[in-house]
A and B are shown apart, each in its own frame.
Chain A
Amino acid sequence: MKKALYKEFSFLLVIVAVTVVLAVIMTHMIEINQEREGKEEKGISISLELKLRDLIKRQIEMESRTVKNNVVIDSIEKIKARLLPNIENNPYSSSSSDSGIEIMVIDSALVNAVTFPGGFIVLFSGLIKRSNNPEELAAVIAHELGHVINRDSVKLLIRQFGVALVVSVLTGSESSLVIEYIMKKIINTSFSRQQEEMADQFAFQLLIKSRLKPGRLADFFKQLQIERETRSIKILEYLNTHPTTESRIEKAEAVSKRFEGVEETFDLDWHAVKRALPSIFDVR
Chain B
Amino acid sequence: MEALKFTEDGRVKLPQPHELSAIEKDDAMGAYLMMFAAWGAGLPLPLLNLIAAVIYFFINKKQSRFVAFHAYQSLITQIPISILNAGVVFWLIAILFFKYLSFDPPFFIYLFFVIFWNLIYTIFSLVACAKARKGQFYYFIFFGRIAFEQYYGEKAQRKKEKEVKNIPPKGY
Contacts and interface: CB of A to CB of B under 8 A. Distances in A.
Contacts of A251: 99
B109 interface: yes
A165 interface: no
Q: How large is the interface on A (under 10, 10 to 19, 20 to 34, 35 or more residues)?
A: 10 to 19
Given A27-B106, A30-B105, A251-B99, A1 B113 contact: no
A11 B105 contact: no
B161 interface: no
Given A1-B154, A4-B145, A5-B145, A197 B102 contact: yes
B142 A8 contact: yes
B84 to A, nearest CB: 10
B141 interface: yes
Given A8-B141, A11-B141, A19 B113 contact: yes
A81 interface: no
A276 interface: no
A242 to B, nearest CB: 17
A23 interface: yes
B14 to A, nearest CB: 15
A164 interface: no
Contact of A1 (B96, B109, B145): B145
B110 interface: yes
Contacts of B99: 247, 250-251, 254
17 contacts: A1-B145, A1-B149, A5-B146, A8-B145, A11-B142, A12-B142, A19-B113, A19-B117, A22-B113, A23-B109, A23-B110, A26-B105, A27-B105, A27-B109, A30-B105, A193-B103, A250-B99
Interface of A: 1, 4-5, 8-9, 11-12, 19, 22-23, 26-27, 30, 193, 197, 247, 250-251, 254
Interface of B: 96, 99, 102-103, 105-106, 109-110, 113, 117, 141-142, 145-146, 149, 153-154
**3 tightest A-B contacts by CB?**
A8-B142, A30-B105, A5-B145
